[in-house]
Amino acid sequence: MKEVDFLIINPWIYDFAAYDFWLKPYGLLLIAGKLQALGYKIAYIDLLDPFHPELPKRPKRRSYGTGHFFKTPFPKPVFFSDVPRRFHRYGLPFNTFEKEVSRVKFKAVLTGCTLTYWYPGLISVLYFFASRYPDIPIFVGGIYVKLCFSHIQKLISECFKNAKIELVNYDVDEFLEDIKKRFSPSGKGIYPDYPAFYLQRKIPYVVIMTSLGCPFNCPYCASKRIYPKFKPRNPEDVFQEILFWHQKFSVVDFAFYDDALLFNFDSHLGVILEKVLTSGIKVRFHTPNAVHARFITKRVAKLLKDSGFETIRIGLERVENRFDDKVSIEEFLQATSYLREAGFKPKHLGAYMLYGIPEENFSEVEKGLRFLEKHQVPPYLAEYSPIPGTPFFERAKITSRYPIEEDPIFHNNSVFPALKNPDWEEINRIKNLAKSIRHRLFALS
């Protein structure tokens, strides 16, 4: 049996949909990396691991390390009976998880949850450890804990009365100080304190954050609630991190999780990309979190292309009746023309459009899709999920058919929680329209 200090668990997802679009538990891996560097021995069980040899069926993988997760049909919660979609549990079969845990001896468990409506996966993990290892402390963190602290607190006090569960909704460094006082490391750190992607069975890509937070404050977004202040990292440190993964583990694909990747480009990302170019390494960069069109100049577009950007998503959200000021339509069109001039084809580009907002107007969404088609930018629809503490959440409380304040399960974007009576036919028509526009534009690439 392998003996470690901490067992880290990335929980299952129970949902209508889940896809590995560079989807990793960044916070958990960040803490794992820091603990490892301090000399703690770590075991990691990724319940979403698409490469586990005991999966009954290998999930399909796609380009740049993205792909499907293994999934098992799961009964749809009764309150979602009006949603015409199937429900699944994404991740390893339960007995595979059990077997994995039985191979490790550990002093404490660390786990977490990102999206607020994924907390049932976390609860399954907590139930497992609290009932089978009642004397082992369990530390729980993540965005869900930060955004819905009173919800998880109540759940724990009602359902896990005697369990040793501790909620971590404070700073990583503070958490590490607490750990150092309570546990002695039983090994030696061998790697720098980067998020510990090496704990995975395979590293199809690495997620990088060059900064925390966003200088903007859009009324529907979680960024300000999660990171109240914008904090850029040192560009040299970011470059060294990219170099480490590329040289030591042959990683080629990197996905930026930044909320404002291009902000202060010349003194930040520009410096990192110049270093990448000078080093001669051949890597590919992706921006699943979208970038700000406002900051894309001719020079920025060229440097993005030359340094290996492969997937560029831009946050547009709306063409008419815009509800944020992160970009104007003129800036968007100017940015896409610079990107095309630099050599990006439609297949590399994409613009996010937010839909399903309170009092949604689908004809406005359709006009946005047509606008993107006309300007040859593939549209990607992002379903709105209410984020507690934002102005849009207050509006969604009024328009929703669910008690979104009471239970984060109702924040699930697949159920269009902000709509009173979703017209599923219309929703499917809009989704199919976006898909067909994308396919037409890809054919031009």
Binding site for ligand SF4 (CB under 6 A): 214, 216-218, 221, 223, 259-260, 315, 324, 326
The DSSP 8-state label assigned to residue 325 in this structure reads -
User: Are 422 and 402 a contacting pair, CB within 8 Å?
Assistant: no
Neighbours of 164 (CB within 10 A): 16
| End-to-end CA separation in angstroms for the chain | 52
User: Are 314 and 335 a contacting pair, CB within 8 Å?
Assistant: yes
Distance CA 22, CA 164 (A): 33
The DSSP 8-state label assigned to residue 233 in this structure reads P
The DSSP 8-state label assigned to residue 55 in this structure reads -
The DSSP 8-state label assigned to residue 117 in this structure reads G
Distance CA 347, CA 376 (A): 10
Tell the residue number behind the tokens 């359709």, with chain if given. Answer: 366
User: Are 346 and 440 a contacting pair, CB within 8 Å?
Assistant: no
Token pair recorded at residue 372: 């993107």
Q: Which residues contact 308 (CB under 8 A, 6 or more apart)?
A: 276, 282, 283, 284, 285
Q: Which residues contact 253 (CB under 8 A, 6 or more apart)?
A: 64, 65, 204, 205, 206, 283, 284, 286, 310
**CA 119, chain centre distance (Å):** 15
| Closest distance of CB 33 from ligand SF4, Å | 24
